[in-house]
């Protein structure tokens, strides 16, 4: 029987077992009051049955053992795998005790350290560094940290299990493409196949709206398994390039596969420390909660995190065979995108219900909107990163991925480019512009800044080195890449604001009468002002040329003669008249139509007031 078929059977067996067991465990948990009760610092609003982790553990191990019994050989299972399986049962038992008895978090942490330390003593440890002491310490931190990261990530329906499934898929693929001993890879892949099947079966009941939770027993188990499996699989250093980078891939790839839980824990810890809150208390301030706070639905927030986990996994797989320079640029670009997105999330107000001067701080806004030294310093620091990545990418594109001897010229000219580019950005007002309020008119400053900085650097290199051995094409490519980077980074928050405003469907469905400049002002105000409690549906306008068109992404339904049909179809509750002239007459016309057709709507008129 082919290997793929064996893995598929194991997967479907685990999925079937979980699907059958989970409803029974749900009833058992409800009967014995083993439920997660709603709390102020928890997301769910109704009691939810726990014990979902029991079905995940049982299905994973039962499917794995069955596959070994019928399709493989128990003797082929290496000692490290049995140690990991035994440890997973121990960490699961610890979580189950907490689910049933609610033990002190300190005791739970001590229990985790004891279990993981025992595994490390038995040989389950990383070999990332030359120092064995460092390997032992990092192994304990890695396994305990990843286990708890998935525990903390279990804060929204389907999130932790879904991220674990995506990470497990990429770990399975990684094992399929790297050269690892057969006696280790096949049993581990069978174990992962069972693990993935159990998660899919559980997600049927756990995805929004969830009917059962996995509890600490399940979240600790799924995190522990992934952490340990990335430790026991020790492929030879991969990647093309320096010995350092080849060795670094052994660390980079597991971190990318498990990037989202690592990022979420780091982000929450940093924000709580910044806002003077305890790192160890619960709260609705995780990445998923912030996405909901800025306008996403719960499902959309979970799916966005799935997307990031998927991209991280793809980059992890691509890092192993890629040339060093290409891998560095790809990872750098991804981390820049992640940094911008999470800075946007940092701006979400999630501590407004808590006392304290710092709890409501808008971190992203404080950095990018206030004209102060910190904002300029961080903007310059960010631009230095962009300059480095853009210049290095230009060399890679010019020399088709092989910089070779030209790397020395890259290093010589990089500080010169730093100085010229930052100076020109300052001279042309790039650092005087607020990131959150970027407009199309700002592009002119970006073009001038990048162009002047590039030309200045070329002239200095011409004066110092007569431009010998430097490629003119590199600077042309750099100009284009840097302009894209700067424009994208400055408009990123504005683009997200636009997207979030369209995603936010809360509030009374609203129609704007008048799709001109005034109507667009009203649309922007509705999008950005949550206190209005309005959700824009579209426009109506008397101009027949605008019918069927879209303005700011919203449709123009037609003229007021279609009003009744549009209102009933879209459940409109509010109409805003946006005409700056003859607005009162337009409002009276709508009121007559409302009375004539018996429409239950409120009609308001836009007024632009500027007072001293």
Together in a domain, 484 and 512: no
- Give the list of residues 6+ apart from residue 62 with CB closer than 8 angstroms, or none: 13, 14, 17, 194
Asked whether residue 482 falls in the same domain as residue 556, the answer is: no
Return the pLDDT at 356.
Answer: 44
Interval 519-555: pLDDT, tens: 888 887 777 676 777 888 888 888 888 888 888 778 8
pLDDT confidence tier of residue 359, bands split at 50, 70 and 90: very low
> Within a domain: residue 611?
no
In a domain, 138, yes or no: yes
pLDDT the model gives residue 553: 75
- Tell me the average pLDDT across 345-371: 56
Percent with pLDDT over 90 in the chain: 43
For residue 47, give the DSSP letter. Answer: -
| CA atoms within a 13 Å half-sphere pointing along the CA-CB vector of 351 | 23
Q: Is residue 520, in this structure, part of any structural domain at all? A: yes
Residue where a domain terminates, one of 472, 500, 528:
500
Q: Are residues 495 and 539 in the same domain?
A: no
Closest CA to 167 of 128, 142, 195: 195
| pLDDT on residue 71 | 77
Residue 360: what pLDDT? 43
The HSE-up count of residue 251 (CA atoms within 13 Å, CB side) is: 12
Distance CA 144, CA 472 (A): 51
* Residue whose entry in the numeric block shows the structure tokens 């936010």: 504
**What is the reported pLDDT for 128?**
84
Task: Of 353, 381, 376, 351, give the one whose Cα is nearest residue 363.
Answer: 351
**Are 493 and 512 in a shared domain?**
no
Which carries the bigger pLDDT value, residue 557 or residue 447?
447
What does 406-423 look like in DSSP terms, one character per residue? GHHHHHHHHHHHHHHHHH
pLDDT of residue 354: 47
Q: Which of 500, 521, 549 is the last residue of a domain?
A: 500
**Does 58 score more than 90 pLDDT?**
yes
**pLDDT, average across residues 32-39:** 82
What value does the mean pLDDT take over residues 92-99? Answer: 93
- pLDDT band of residue 347 (cuts 50, 70, 90) is confident
Is residue 357 scored above 50 in pLDDT?
A: no
Is it the case that residue 367 has pLDDT exceeding 60?
no
Round the average pLDDT of the chain to a whole number and report it: 84
For residue 418, give its domain range.
371-500
Q: Is the pLDDT of residue 508 over 70?
A: yes
Q: How confident is the model at residue 277 (pLDDT cuts 50, 70, 90)?
A: confident
Q: Quote the pLDDT of residue 191.
A: 94
Share of the chain above pLDDT 70, in %: 88
Average pLDDT over residues 103-132: 91
pLDDT above 90 for 376:
no
Same domain membership, residue 456 and residue 546: no
* Amino acid 364: pLDDT: 47
pLDDT of residue 496: 83
Statement: residue 365 has pLDDT above 60: no
Inform me whether the pLDDT recorded for 236 exceeds 60. Answer: no
Report whether pLDDT(355) > 60: no
| Pairwise CA distance, residues 95 & 114, whole Å | 14
- Regarding whether 46 and 25 lie in a shared domain, the answer is yes
Q: From 219, 245, 271, give the residue that closes a domain.
A: 245
Minimum mean pLDDT range among 21-25, 124-128, 358-362:
358-362
Structure tokens at 28: 């058992």
What is the pLDDT confidence band of residue 502, given thresholds at 50, 70 and 90?
low
The answer on 16 and 125 residing in a single domain is yes
Q: CA–CA separation, 327 vs 486, rounded Å?
A: 21
Mean pLDDT, range 115-126, rounded to an integer: 93
Per-residue pLDDT band for 97 (boundaries 50, 70, 90) equals very high
Domains: count for the chain: 3
Answer whether residue 271 is part of any domain.
no
Do 177 and 55 share a structural domain? yes
Rounded average pLDDT over 101-118: 91
- At CA 80, angle to CA 76 and CA 85, rounded to 5? 95
- Please state which of the ranges 96-100, 245-249, 532-536, 544-548 shows the lowest mean pLDDT: 245-249
592 part of a folded domain: yes
Half-sphere exposure of 19 (CA within 13 A, CB side): 11
Q: What is the pLDDT of residue 358?
A: 45
Question: Is the same domain home to 65 and 156?
Answer: yes
CB 304 within 8 A of CB 291: yes
Which helix or strand (DSSP H or E) is residue 605 part of? strand 602-605
Same domain, 495 and 511: no
Average pLDDT over residues 207-217: 90
pLDDT of residue 330: 93
Q: Please count the other Cβ atoms lying within 10 Å of the Cβ belonging to residue 212.
A: 25
What was the pLDDT predicted at 239? Answer: 47
For the ranges 92-96, 271-275, 317-321, 367-371, the lowest mean pLDDT is seen at: 367-371
Peptide bond into 559 cis (omega under 30): no
Q: Is residue 292 part of a domain?
A: no
Query: What are 422-467's pLDDT values in tens digits?
Result: 999 999 988 887 776 677 778 899 999 999 999 999 999 999 988 8
CATH number at residue 523: 3.40.50.720
The pTM (predicted TM-score) of the whole model is 0.85
Mean pLDDT over 96-104 rounds to 88
Average pLDDT of 164-176?
Answer: 92
Identify the CA nearest to 527 among candidates 495, 493, 497: 497
Per-residue model confidence as pLDDT tens digits over 580-597? 677 777 778 778 777 777
Q: Is the pLDDT of residue 235 over 70?
A: no
Confidence of residue 1 (pLDDT cuts 50, 70, 90): low
Average pLDDT of the residues in 351-380: 58
The pLDDT confidence band at residue 474, using thresholds 50, 70 and 90, is very high
- The answer to whether residue 25 is domain-embedded is yes
Tokens encoding 348 = 């979400």
Query: Do 462 and 423 lie in a common domain?
Result: yes
Q: Is 41 a residue whose pLDDT tops 70? A: no
**Rounded mean pLDDT, 369-394:** 84
C-alpha–C-alpha distance, residues 31 and 276, integer Å: 40
Q: Considering only 43-47, 60-64, 175-179, 470-474, which range has the smallest mean pLDDT?
A: 43-47
Instruction: Tell me whether residue 332 is in a domain.
Output: no
120 and 219 belong to one structural domain: yes
Q: Which residue has the higher pLDDT, 512 or 233?
A: 512
């Amino acid at each position: 029987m082919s290997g793929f078929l064996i893995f598929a059977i194991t997967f479907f067996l685990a999925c079937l077992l979980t699907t059958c067991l989970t409803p029974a465990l749900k009833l058992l948990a409800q009967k014995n009051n083993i439920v997660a009760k709603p709390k102020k610092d928890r997301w769910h609003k109704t009691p939810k049955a726990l014990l979902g982790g029991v079905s995940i553990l049982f299905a994973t191990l039962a499917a794995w053992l069955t596959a070994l019994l019928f399709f493989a050989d128990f003797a082929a299972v290496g000692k490290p795998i049995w140690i990991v399986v035994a440890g997973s049962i121990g960490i699961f038992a610890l979580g189950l005790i907490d689910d049933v008895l609610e033990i002190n978090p300190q005791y739970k942490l001590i229990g985790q350290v004891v279990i993981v330390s025992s595994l490390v003593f038995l040989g389950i440890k990383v070999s990332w560094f030359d120092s064995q002491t460092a390997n032992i310490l990092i192994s304990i931190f890695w396994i305990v940290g990843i286990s708890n990261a998935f525990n903390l990530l279990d804060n929204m329906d389907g999130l932790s299990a879904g991220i674990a499934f995506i990470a497990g898929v990429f770990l399975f693929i990684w094992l399929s493409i790297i050269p690892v001993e057969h006696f280790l890879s096949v049993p581990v892949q069978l174990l992962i196949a069972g693990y993935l099947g159990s998660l899919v079966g559980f997600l049927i009941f756990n995805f929004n709206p969830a009917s059962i939770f996995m509890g600490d027993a399940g979240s600790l188990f799924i995190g522990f398994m992934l952490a340990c499996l990335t430790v026991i699989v020790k492929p030879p250093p991969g990647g093309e390039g320096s010995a350092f980078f080849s060795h670094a891939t052994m660390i980079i790839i597991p971190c990318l596969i498990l990037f989202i839980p690592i990022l979420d824990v780091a982000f929450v810890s940093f924000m709580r420390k910044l806002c003077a809150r305890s790192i160890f208390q619960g709260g609705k301030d995780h990445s998923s909660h912030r996405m909901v706070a800025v306008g996403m639905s719960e499902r959309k927030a979970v799916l966005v995190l799935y997307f990031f986990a998927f991209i991280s996994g793809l980059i992890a797989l691509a890092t192993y065979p890629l040339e060093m320079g290409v891998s560095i640029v790809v990872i750098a670009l991804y981390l820049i995108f992640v940094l911008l997105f999470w800075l946007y999330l940092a701006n979400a107000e999630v501590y407004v219900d808590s006392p304290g001067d710092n709890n409501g701080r808008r971190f992203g806004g404080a950095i990018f909107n206030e004209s102060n030294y910190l904002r300029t310093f961080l903007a310059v620091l960010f631009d230095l990163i962009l300059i480095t990545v853009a210049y290095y990418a230009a060399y890679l594109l010019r020399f088709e991925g092989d910089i070779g001897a030209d790397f020395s010229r890259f290093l010589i000219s990089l500080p010169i480019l730093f100085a010229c580019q930052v100076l020109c950005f300052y001279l042309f007002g790039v650092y005087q512009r607020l990131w959150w309020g970027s407009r199309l008119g700002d592009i002119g400053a970006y073009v001038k800044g990048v162009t002047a900085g590039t030309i200045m650097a070329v002239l200095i290199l011409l004066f110092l080195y007569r431009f010998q051995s430097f490629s003119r094409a590199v600077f042309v490519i750099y100009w284009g890449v840097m302009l894209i980077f700067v424009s994208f980074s400055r408009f990123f928050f504005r683009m997200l604001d636009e997207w979030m405003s369209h995603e936010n469907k809360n509030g009374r469905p609203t129609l704007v009468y008048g799709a001109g400049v005034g109507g667009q002002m009203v649309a922007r105000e509705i999008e950005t002002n949550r206190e209005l409690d309005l959700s824009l549906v579209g426009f109506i306008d008397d101009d027949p040329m605008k019918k069927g068109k879209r303005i700011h992404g919203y449709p123009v339904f037609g003229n007021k003669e279609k009003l009744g049909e549009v209102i009933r179809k879209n459940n409109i509750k509010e109409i805003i008249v946006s005409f700056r002239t003859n607005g009162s007459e337009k409002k009276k016309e709508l009121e007559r139509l409302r009375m004539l057709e018996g429409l239950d709507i409120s009609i308001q008129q836009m007024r632009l007031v500027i007072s001293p």
